[in-house]
Structure formats: structure tokens, C-alpha cells
Structure 1
Amino acid sequence: MLKRIILFFYVILLQTALLKGMMSGMERLQEPQMSACLKKIFCLTSREMMPVCLSDGRTYATRSIVECLNRCLPPEQNVHIEYFGYCVHDILMTYAMEAILGSS
């Protein structure tokens, strides 16, 4: 429990200081099988940009994608919101890429 609390404050600190990250969840949504399922179930999501970190460790643009993902995933792979904001990995990857490629 203490580890989760520390991680939570670490993420809040990172997001407050950095305020950006990548949306690694987009890769999952574009996988052929997932994409086909999302089209089949006619998944509606909001256009708001309020990043959420899901239990699969990926950042998605909005929390409304959770229900859509769970309709397309087997029950044992269902996801839930870990916290609002970018996943730590996605924040770190964004800054690593900027360090390697240079900031634009």
C-alpha cells in the first residue's frame, strides 16, 4: 500500500512538473483485432483530452475508452483506471525521445 501511495505522489509530481507524455494506448487500439472489434461494437468515446493510465500500463486519451476496451477484451484481460494522467513509463519515454532526438 505504501508503495502505491509513493508511486501516486511520484506520478503527480512528474505530471505537474512535466505536463506531457505519450499515448502508448493508441498502439493497442490500432492493433488489427482490437481495431476491428471497436468498429464492430461502434465504440463512442469523448473527444476530451484527459489522459488516463490504465491497468495495462498504457496511457489513453480519455477514460471513456475503458468500457470499449473491456467489451473487446477477454474478461481476464479487462482493464481499469489506475490513475488520471500519463503513465510513468510514457512520461519517461517522451523525455528520453526528446533527449535523443532533440526538442522541437
Structure 2
Amino acid sequence: HTLPRLVAVTVRTDQPINLVSAFEEPIVPDTEKHTGIAPASVRRLAHEQLTAVRAWGNKPAFAAHCHTLAPEHRETAAALEEAFGRARAFDEVLSDLRTHLTGGDAR
């Protein structure tokens, strides 16, 4: 099994938001940089999240993410941080999500 490059979670108190429109146009691998489609996919998802929040004011009550992007993808990591908050280890994402859902204070 292949581990994911990104796990992002948002919790909303108003309505679900579908971010699938980030992928209406196909993502083409960058053959010059040999980066595949993961970095571009992650950037699109982050952009779609930010667009939804800015356009509709639907800021999530909780957002978190974990990624395995290589250090050379600093701009992509920065876009993720803007959209979903600081990067966390996966177990921290789960712990903070559990805390949020059970009424405690998440980081």
C-alpha cells in the first residue's frame, strides 16, 4: 500500500464544502522537474480551500494537515499552511481532531 502524500481535514459547523472542483482540469506531470502530479494536486487543493473560505466566508472550525512533500516544495508547503494551518505529524492531526470533536482545546 502506498502512503498518502497529504492528509487534510476540516471540520465545519455550517455546511460541508466540496473541494472537487480543484480537479476539474486534469493535472499534468512536470516532465522537466520529474515531480509527478502530487505537488500540483496539493497546490490546487490548497487553492480551492482558500478560495472557498475567501469567497463564501466558510472558515472551518478546525483544520489540520500532514504532508510528506520534499523540502524543495517549500511554496507548496506554504500554500498548505495558509489553507489548513501548520503541518503536523499524523498522530498529532488525529489527537487534535479528537480533542476538537470531544470539546477540548486543540492546538
Relative to the length of structure 2, the TM-score reads 0.29
Larger relative helix fraction? 1
Relative to the length of structure 1, the TM-score reads 0.30
